[in-house]
Homo-oligomer: A and B are copies of this chain.
């Protein structure tokens, strides 16, 4: 399955769902134009409420990663393509962090903090 969640994690379900999709795009397994399974489908497959899945999809839309329209579903946006380009840079940063004893979660918090 494309989307996986860990029910035991304290991380919100909608966040985990969105993270799954981001990771797929980053890895290049999902590309612009590819369609995500309908929210109802995902809902049944992973046993989570439809609203929760849709919230994840809407978060991805607000990031510009997917186009989301009724009747049509969720489709990876063209704006998402650059993500795959960053994959190596991100992996490299995480490697360096780990070598220095900095956890990815700490690193992520730092990235979020940097003011452009």
Q: Interface residues, chain A, CB within 8 Å of chain B?
A: 15, 18-19, 22-23, 26, 63-65, 79, 82-83, 85-86, 89-98, 100-114, 116
Contact = CB atoms under 8 A, between A and B. Distances in A.
A65 to B, nearest CB: 7
Contact of A90 (B19, B26, B65, B93): B93
- The interface residues of chain A, by DSSP majority, are classed as helix
A86 B110 contact: yes
Contacts of A94: 111, 114, 116
Given A19-B109, A22-B109, A23-B113, A96 B102 contact: no
A63 B105 contact: yes
A35 to B, nearest CB: 21
Contacts of A64: 101, 103
A98 to B, nearest CB: 5
Nearest to A116: B98
Contact of A108 (B79, B82, B97, B111): B111
A104 B109 contact: no
